[in-house]
Amino acid sequence: MPAFETAVWRFNQLFNLESIDRLDANMFAPHRTLPDILRELGAGSDRAIAVVEEWPESLQEAFRAVIHSTLNRKPRPPITISLKPDYDYELRVWEGLSVVGSQGGVYIQVRCRYPFDPHPSTVYDEQRRASGA
């Protein structure tokens, strides 16, 4: 978990109000994968990227799409990412709208299993294969 927390901290640095305008929205274009983007940004260690690769494809794609959409706006609201260990995978997204005195923000919370904690369905499949069922 610490490697992934470090990646989240780095992402939050990249997407804060002072830094977000330096990012190229095309980096998050639909043909790109989230692990490849993380590698290119230097936003995660190999271990953290391996955690992201374990996420369901739909979660990875939704995460990428939220960022791509946000980077295509003018002005760009900052993005804040948080992590919560959980039983299953979940992505929560909400947005505080821009008002006088605040540029608002996009908030992404990723809920996922502890890194390298096998999902029970995976363990069940392995046990079933081992028994020859």
Alpha helices in 17-116 (DSSP H): 34-41, 46-54, 57-71
Residue found under tokens 């490849």:
36
Cβ(69)–Cβ(41) under 8 Å?
no
For position 71, what pLDDT does the model report?
Answer: 96
Round to whole Å and give the CA distance between 123 and 78.
Answer: 39
Q: What is the pTM of this model?
A: 0.81
Closest CA to 43 of 64, 59, 57: 64
Could you report the per-residue pLDDT of 65-110, keeping only the tens digit for each?
Answer: 999 999 999 999 999 999 888 888 899 999 998 788 888 899 999 9
Residue 1, pLDDT > 60, answer no
Tokens of 33: 């994968």
Backbone angles phi, psi at 11, to 5 degrees: -60, -45
